[in-house]
Structure 1
Amino acid sequence: MSSPDPHNSPYGPPHTSQQPPQGGYPAYPQEQYGGYPGAPGTAPEMPGTLKAARTLLFVLGGISALLAVLLLITAAAITTEDLKDLNGLDDLATARVAIVVVAVILGALAALQIITAALFGRGRGGVRISSIITGALVILLGLLFLVGVPLIGLVFVTCGILVIVFCSKQDAGHWFNHPPSSVG
């Protein structure tokens, strides 16, 4: 009786025409489509400028959320003696309401920035439009901050401009318009 053919065994590894691995390194399967960017079956990679815009939106969202919390704490802790230094605000309730309104606006903007940045990976046109609108809102808020808190205002204006520029570039258009079937 002869021994069974090792290439025809149902219990062994499948027979391939490749040579066995050399030098103790395991054999890795070759890519089916060549592996170049944009090849069929491969997911496109987000451009570096969009990664930067996404990071800026996450950072701005964190700063906005932190500022909103600090403003709410300030609204709770403010006293009538603190208002003596401010011109035009004599009523404590009015000052608290104004601070809470600014905190709510900052909180809403923080949520918009973080949600928009989180959706960048899906790469759809609505996210691109949302990020450009968010950048414009950040610029407007930064211009208001320039009056009272110049450093934060400058950071907001600069980051808002960068988000708009990065999301308006041609490679951003390609990323946000790629077909949905190519995303993994």
Structure 2
Amino acid sequence: MSFGDPNSPYGQQQNQGQGQQPGYGHPQQAPQGVPPQQGGYGYPAAPPVSPYGGGGYPGTVTEMPGGVKAARVMLFVIGGLQMIGVVFGVLGAMGLAAAKNDPALKDDVQFQQIADMSAGAVWGITALILAWGVLAIVLGAKFGKGGNGIRVTALVFGIITAILGLYPFVIIGLAHTVLAILVAVFVGKSDGAAWFNRNKQQY
């Protein structure tokens, strides 16, 4: 028999072992037992879909939770209340200044000393009220892009504000106390922690 005979079993054995090279421009087939790559030849596989909506990686929070949104609004409300307190503080300091200049009280040395001390205390408290209000507004504004540092600061802010609302500002601080406790609770929850740590979850 001739090895060139196509019907010969010896000729078929001779052709075995000579692997055919893939043609130019055609992808090689994957070996048996290896699953084919997704995404097509030459393209990486797409990342898995996030259960929170949108693309990205599993567990990544892409939308601000409702509790965090509520805490943000409450911070703005606290900031607004602080600004109202600043107005009353300025009016009180101006009232003391007007009383000092009253001709009937100019000769009263004791009143003048008390008025000077009171005016200084009122201006100092007004400055603190203003700074606290600005801090509340800045914290609320940074909830959108802030990280865990903003979360910790908001927690501390809420706790201190709640304490100050109980003492010494008991009557006027009641609203501050309620709002501050809610801010601390909403920010301290697990979904709040996930929101402020979302940038770390992507790595």
TM category (shorter chain) comes to 0.5 to 0.7
Aligned-CA RMSD value: 2.8
Runs (5+) with no aligned partner, structure 1: 1-31, 82-88
Which residue of structure 2 aligns with residue 130 of structure 1? Answer: 153
Which residue of structure 2 aligns with residue 115 of structure 1? Answer: 138
2:55 pairs with 1:40: yes
Deviation of 1:43 after TM superposition, in Å, equals 6.6
Runs of 4+ that moved beyond 3 A: 32-36
Deviation of 1:74 after TM superposition, in Å, equals 1.3
2:197 pairs with 1:173: no
2:117 pairs with 1:97: no
Q: Percent identity?
A: 33
For the residues of structure 1 that align with 2:129 and 2:192, how far apart are their CA atoms? 27
Runs (5+) with no aligned partner, structure 2: 1-46, 103-111
Moved more, 169-178 or 70-79: 70-79
**Alignment TM-score, normalising by the size of structure 2:** 0.62
For the residues of structure 2 that align with 1:95 and 1:140, how far apart are their CA atoms? 24
For the residues of structure 1 that align with 2:158 and 2:85, how far apart are their CA atoms? 18
Per-residue deviation, residues 55-85 of structure 1 (Å, max 9, x unmatched): 000010011012112201210112269xxxx
Deviation of 1:90 after TM superposition, in Å, equals 6.2
For the residues of structure 2 that align with 1:153 and 1:115, how far apart are their CA atoms? 21
2:91 pairs with 1:73: yes
2:79 pairs with 1:64: no
Which structure's residues are more often helix, by fraction? 1
**Alignment TM-score, normalising by the size of structure 1:** 0.68
Which residue of structure 2 aligns with residue 164 of structure 1? Answer: 184
Q: Secondary structure of the equivalent of 1:179?
A: helix
Does structure 1 retain, via aligned residues, the 8 Å contact 2:161–2:177? yes
For the residues of structure 2 that align with 1:110 and 1:178, how far apart are their CA atoms? 27
The one-letter code sitting in structure 1 at the alignment partner of 2:95 is A
Does structure 1 retain, via aligned residues, the 8 Å contact 2:61–2:198? no
For the residues of structure 2 that align with 1:40 and 1:115, how far apart are their CA atoms? 30
